[in-house]
Amino acid sequence: MRGRMARPPASPPAARPLADVDWADLRLFLEVARTGSFSAAARKLGIEQSTVSRRMATLERTLRVAVFDRRPGGSMLTPLGEQLRRHAETMESGADQFVREASGHEREAEGLVRLALTESIAVHGVIPRVLPALAEKHPRVSLRLLTSYEVADLGHREAEIAVRFFRPKSGDLVAARVVTLPTVPIAHRRLSKKSRDELDWVGVDLGGTSTIEEDYQKRHVKKAPKLIVSSYVAQIEAVRAGLGAAILPSSALDLDDDLVELDLGLPAGPVLELWLVTPRGLRQVPRVAAVWSALEEHLQFLNGPRRQRTCLRSR
């Protein structure tokens, strides 16, 4: 009787070729790793949580490994996921450098520039002042405004330029202070007869993020706001509607002839600084340089009101 030949040991499943891995899914994998949950990554990227969950499941099927430990409070990386994260970050860095060097060979200002900024700077500065001038001078440059109070991660290419209220500390970023914004108490002129104790105030709550204007108001006004809003745009509109006073940049006086600076006998208000920031490798890219120059030139009006309107009254 012939003996049966031993079967060779089963080979481990072959690794899927790199071409099967979607680079966009690796970017999303990194975002989930950095934010700690599918829902947080979805909010930051402006997509549905179900999309994040589906794409991460696809990534795990493609890799044939589990990279996330899914828990009720969020998604943690598995030990293997932590190892893969380091490789994905290396790939991300290389891809970013690839794009930056390629962009550096642009000859004309053309293409998309993403600009991260607050809604108030967009509504009261960039849209009415910067965009018309940019469109006239550089018609082939398009702009995407990313309005948020969160700090865009320029190192991971969330935007090409950011308008910030602080100077960055990273040596990989180029920064220029373009505007100095003194702040003063401002209200509708019909409130000008009210004493400091009679005035209502409009406060702003940016989701737990403290601001120097808010700190100043707490220290020196010492009166709880009658109205609290969640954006500077809403705060300014509430003041224009006569709902109360607020500590605002003096340039806000130019938004409405009925707005006046109040003489309340308060210490000088805090001074805000507006900075333009971009990755060092992008500063001289033509389309980025064009937007940068337009911002530098046409945001200068924020340095102060064209007309001084101070209302002297009893304190």
pLDDT of residue 304: 61
Please tell me the least confidently modeled range out of 117-131, 163-177, 262-276. Answer: 163-177
- The residue behind tokens 């994905």 is 88
Closest by CA to 85, choosing from 28, 15, 21, 40, is 28
- Residue percentage of the chain with pLDDT more than 90: 43
Structure confidence at residue 102 (pLDDT): 64
Q: Render the burial of 3-12: b for 16+ CB within 10 Å, e for the rest.
A: eeeeeeeeee
In this prediction the pTM is: 0.65
Per-residue pLDDT, 20:
72
**Is the pLDDT reported for residue 226 higher than 80?**
yes
Q: What gap in Å lies between CA 103 and CA 106, rounded to an integer?
A: 6
- For the stretch 269-288, pLDDT in tens is 999 999 999 988 888 899 99
**More confident call, 104 vs 263:** 263
Average pLDDT over residues 231-244: 95
* Mean residue pLDDT across the chain: 84
- Predicted confidence at residue 171, as pLDDT, reads 62
Mean pLDDT to the nearest integer, 159-187: 88
Contact 80, 70 (CB under 8 A): no
Nearest-angstrom CA–CA distance, 93 and 105:
19
* φ and ψ of 198, to 5 deg: -85, -20
pLDDT over 80 (residue 96): no
Q: Is the dihedral of CA 70, 73, 75, 80 positive or negative?
A: negative
Q: Cβ neighbours of residue 51 under 8 Å, at least 6 residues apart?
A: 42
Res 283: pLDDT: 87
Asked which of 46-50, 145-149, 240-244 is least confident by mean pLDDT, the reply is: 46-50
C-alpha distances out from residue 47 to 26, 44, 50, 55, 101, Å: 16, 8, 9, 12, 29
In this prediction, residues 201-225 reach a mean pLDDT of 85
User: Given this model, what pLDDT does residue 154 score?
Assistant: 82
Give the separation between CA 129 and CA 108, rounded to whole angstroms.
23
Higher pLDDT, 69 or 14: 69
Query: Can you give the pLDDT at residue 312?
Result: 44
| pLDDT > 70 in the chain, percent | 85
**Residues whose CB is less than 8 angstroms from the CB of residue 208 and which lie 6 or more positions away in sequence, other chains included:** none
Bridge partners of residue 141, in order along the sequence: 111
Residue 19: predicted pLDDT: 52
pLDDT band at 3 (very low <50, low <70, confident <90, very high): very low
pLDDT of residue 100: 62
pLDDT mean over 294-306: 82
The domains of the chain, with CATH numbers, are: 18-103 (1.10.10.10), 180-272+305-311 (3.40.190.10)
Instruction: At 220, give phi and psi (nearest 5°).
Output: -110, -30
- Supply 66's token pair: 């589990």
| Per-residue model confidence (pLDDT) at position 248 | 94
270 CB neighbour count, 10 Å cutoff: 16
Q: In Å, how far are 149, 231, 246, 248, 276 from 212, measured between CA atoms?
A: 14, 15, 13, 11, 20
pLDDT in tens, 57-91: 999 998 888 999 888 878 889 999 999 999 888 88
pLDDT for the residue 168:
79
- State the DSSP H helix or E strand holding residue 137, giving kind and residue range, or none if neither: helix 131-137
pLDDT at res. 22: 78
**Collapsed DSSP state (helix, strand, coil) of residue 162:** strand
